[in-house]
Amino acid sequence: MQDLNIRKTGKAGRITFTRPKALNALTHDMALAIQTALDDWRSDPQVALVIIDAEGERAFCSGGDIAAVYHAGLAGDHGVGRAFFRDEYLMNATIADYPKPIVALMQGFVMGGGVGVGGHASHRVVTDSTQIAMPEAGIGLIPDVGGTWLLARSSGHIGEFLALTGGRMGPGDAIHAGFADIYLPEGEWPSLISRLEESGDVSAITGMNPPHAPLAERDLSAFGMADLAAISDRLSELGDEGSLKPIRRNSPLSMAAGLQMVRAARNDTRIQESLSREFRFTYRATEFSDFLEGVRAQIIDKDRTPKWQADPSPENLERMLASLGDEELNWEDQK
């Protein structure tokens, strides 16, 4: 398809994002195409491993292309978003559980939907330009695409910090937080890809010592407080304006939900549990959350002044995360 270059080269299945002018944002059709390719290669003896990379210097994948979801939701059609999120999450789980190695080479922006593709690969390579983040609270959503699963597995309270603030991670922080595995300057990537295509063996991957990880030195104990109000109070006591600024700016419902979901995901044993919980929120997002207003302010009108209205109370949060009944993600179908 036009937005992806999917092919087999040597012993590798290759998936390359090819819409750099759109920062390689992931559309519904792209998610379906990735799923189809992975299904086709699962039992293909020619494919020993999969390589996912992207054209352009600015982004591996900057997130989901949610314009269609926004416009449909604004018109009262919530099915467009629900179908996109459902198929995207099935694809995320396929990557996480794939029986063959998947190597993701992630330069530039890796955010939201990009984390859902690259962040669940078995071998995640980052470079000096890499900036990884889950900034969904800023558009009235929650860390999805398996983001709560990854955040829950970061050490200490890094997960809560990143979920609430949408903070960006360079290569050192990404490895420290468990969103990446290997640091390798981008100039070394073509030769690495050639070795992988020729050998089909991930032992060909040799990284270098990662850059400094500032997150490793931060005291994030405030993010271990019971709820968003207590976290904010503690940050105020500490004078941590750097953390408070995005918290004051982001959707209160999204932050309350993200905090609860990251903590719940620490008890999950499979990524599917985290994805199912995320889908309960995103299924309802265009109808009942701050999502449409957040997208309007940040992406459509770009006035950067969202007027949050969604109720962040525990009672509403419980409703947003309640079972979807027959609409729950069905993992048996995926098998």
- Which residue among the candidates 112, 113, 119, 172 is catalytic per the annotation? 113
What is the spatial distance between Cα 190 and Cα 87, in angstroms, rounded to a whole number? 31
Place of tokens 């050490």: 155
144 flagged as catalytic? yes
SS3 306: coil
SS3 124: strand
- Which residue among the candidates 53, 144, 160, 278 is catalytic per the annotation? 144
- The H-assigned helical ranges of 181-270 are 189-199, 228-238, 241-249, 252-265
160 flagged as catalytic? no
DSSP string, 246-303: HHHHS-HHHHHHHHHHHHHHTT-SSHHHHHHHHHHHHHHHHHHSSHHHHHIIIIIS--
- Which residue among the candidates 53, 65, 88, 136 is catalytic per the annotation? 136
156 flagged as catalytic? no
64 flagged as catalytic? yes
For residue 48, give the DSSP letter. S
- Which residue among the candidates 13, 63, 64, 138 is catalytic per the annotation? 64
The catalytic residues are 64, 113, 136, 144
